[in-house]
Structure 1
Amino acid sequence: MADTWTFAVARDDLSDTTLVEGATPDLADGEALLRVDRVGLTANNVTYAVLGDALRYWRFFPPEPRGLDPRRGLPPVWGFAEVVASTVPGVAVGQRVYGYLPPAGHLVVRPDRVDATGFRDASPHRADLPSPYNAYRSTTGDPAYRVEQEDLLILFRPLFFTSFMLADQVADHDFYGAATLVLSSASSKTAYAAAHELRGRGPRLVGLTAPGNVDFTRSLGCYDEVLAYSDVDRLDVVPTAYLDLSGAPATRAALRRHLGDRLVRDVAVGLTSQTPNGDAAGEVFFAPNQMRKRSQDWGRAGLDQRFAEAWARFAAVVDQWLDVRVGTGPEALRDAWLDVLAGRTPPRVGHVVQL
């Protein structure tokens, strides 16, 4: 078969990148080969790399079988792939799937639980990793899929899933008894998608962001108020829940000083400033945990339907807030990675790479 390629980064220096060529592997019985077609790069992908050891993200796509130094890692990306070879009934050549992919030309999967919605990768090295990342959704069996929304799905679906589950957990806990919900990194896709889902359901929504992003974040219309990080002392001293997507210790410290015991909940959602924040927060939100709860409450089909309805509401407005920047080929993937890593990507811009 034709040659393939892999993009990898040094695990101790994410700006140290490499592109290597290799041969596409032969398949064993029970395996299928996916050609990675179109993927996105956001701050979420940097999060996977920053937390690669702590949350085992490096283990999804190990470097050693690809002939790479184990001190390097493959930062996972989300996007679409096409089945180009298969030994598995029900997984057909030409099938298009959405899922968790390596930054590479190809991926060998071991499809299990194959049905009209897609399949799960049952490769042994993924068996004890969080199951939502092992699902590959067929475009023909996905209620949220629209062909004209592929780039939106690439850029937002994994983030929106986190946002949807975060909003659901907050509502499920009666908004923690808060009169105000404060979201940091408010210009980030995960934050404003959660705010969109929470808007009008109870508490006042306040977004905190960098001074240069205040105007953009206000223009979204997702928040009742948008403040720069330096203006935390302008917050009303009322029962407040903090949803921290920035991981900035100074912001948390300022909130605690200003609000005192009125800060009723402090939840670390993720990070965009590459500062792990779980230990400093009162708790860590992990979307797969809420997904498991709702899968039991609603069933898989019920969860899929609720997600598709929420996605439709969001997709109807989000294309007004986004400029998709499309690159082509592995070098464009590397350039996008370095831009996002360095914080050079404006909040309106989303990187999509056609491979």
Structure 2
Amino acid sequence: MSDPTPPGWTLQVARDDLSRTRRRALELAPLQPGEALLRVERVGLTANNVTYAVLGDSFRYWEFFPAPPGWGTVPVWGFAEVVASEADGVGVGARLYGYLPTASHLRVRPGRVDERGFRDASPHRATLPSPYNAYALTGADPAYDAAQEDLQVLFRPLYWTSFMLVDWLVDNDLLGARSVVLSSASSKTAYGAAFGLHRQGIEVVGLTSPRNTAFVRGLGCYDRVLTYAEVDRLPLDRPALYADLAGSPELTAALRAHLGDRLVHEVVVGVTNQEAAVAGTLADTGPAMFFAPDQMRKRIGDWGRPGLDRRFAESWRAFAPVAATWVDVVEGAGPEALERVWREVQAGTADPRAGHVVVL
């Protein structure tokens, strides 16, 4: 294999202090038979990537892209190009969407190659959740639109969670609730779910910080928006389900105290409260953690993978034009921008309207 690119690099974060970063050279050794090399092109950085890091041990996110002890490579979503291949059916120049490292390149071992793409069959990924191992060829992806690449790297992985959360709630008749309460309502996953629930006529209440209240109200997909200090204004005349994206034990305790037996179910969806996650208090926020791949596996069994992809694409096509009015794309370039944006997003100081895309 000839040298395909300039020297590679990888951005790593300290697992005990996510604000601490370092860049290291990435060795691009010759490919072995059955391997392919992807050049990471365009990725998004959102609070979702912080969740991957916060839950890196418990949900095995650190295992996808191994790093030296004490360090982690944060998973991101985006587009990559095949720049070298020793794998049958995977040609140089192919463009893919999938789960990528904060790095210039990714070595994969394509398996189950077909017209839709492939799965990384590298041994270290064999027991990891399969949806994260899929790489979709843009030319065969029903949800792909070349004009929407920035929206896709920012929203698509989050919208998969939103889409599957809504599907799970509807599939289970809201577990007896008549209203869904979402914390961290300014997050993309939360308002993606609110969009889907609202379209089905389900009442949705958003909880957010005072500084994000105007933004959340302006989205138009929440029936009511309250600050975290206004939990006692939640109505008591209907059973409610709490979808927790904040991970704040104090907020959950206040909500439980106010709603009492009107709170019929709780589910943890994400983590914006990093301190609670690191301290191990997430178990106090609810009895269950929603894991989108579980519902995806169920629906693949019900509909087949093409059926699930078709339904997602239909929902995405309704969401994307609306989401485009809710975000201001902020584009950076190179590893320096990636490192800077990671620190900003990890610190929680990003404007909720800002959508950070980094071209590598």
Q: Superposition pairs for residues 1-355 of structure 1, below 5 Å?
A: 1=3, 2-63=6-67, 69-237=68-236, 238-274=238-274, 275-276=276-277, 277-355=282-360
TM-score (norm 1): 0.97
Aligned mates of 1:295, 1:17 — CA distance in 2: 38
Aligned mates of 1:76, 1:324 — CA distance in 2: 20
Q: Is the 8 A contact 1:178 1:240 kept in 2?
A: yes
Aligned mates of 2:27, 2:270 — CA distance in 1: 36
Aligned mates of 1:227, 1:279 — CA distance in 2: 22
Aligned mates of 1:213, 1:38 — CA distance in 2: 28
* Percent sequence identity over aligned pairs: 62
One-letter code of the match for 2:56?
A: G
Aligned mates of 1:319, 1:201 — CA distance in 2: 21
Aligned mates of 2:200, 2:357 — CA distance in 1: 33
Instruction: Report runs of 4+ in structure 1 exceeding 3 Å deviation.
Output: none
Q: Is the 8 A contact 1:246 1:272 kept in 2?
A: yes
Deviations 1:265-314 (A, max 9, x none): 01101111213324530211000000000000111111000000000000
Aligned mates of 1:345, 1:24 — CA distance in 2: 34
Aligned mates of 1:348, 1:332 — CA distance in 2: 18
Q: Is the 8 A contact 2:197 2:203 kept in 1?
A: no
Q: Structure 1 pair 22/203, CA: closer, same or farther in 2 (3 Å)?
A: closer
Deviations 1:74-126 (A, max 9, x none): 01111000000001121110000000001001110000011111000000000
**Shift in Å, 1:70:** 1.7
TM-score (norm 2): 0.96
In the alignment, structure 1 segments of 5+ residues that lack a partner are: 64-68
Task: Count the aligned residue pairs.
Answer: 350
Q: Is the 8 A contact 2:119 2:135 kept in 1?
A: yes
Counterpart secondary structure, 1:205: strand
Aligned mates of 1:190, 1:95 — CA distance in 2: 29
Q: Is the 8 A contact 2:248 2:285 kept in 1?
A: no
Deviations 1:301-331 (A, max 9, x none): 1100000000000012111000010001000
Aligned mates of 1:204, 1:149 — CA distance in 2: 29
Q: Is the 8 A contact 1:121 1:134 kept in 2?
A: yes
Q: Is the 8 A contact 1:33 1:109 kept in 2?
A: yes
Alignment RMSD, CA only?
A: 0.9
In the alignment, structure 2 segments of 5+ residues that lack a partner are: none
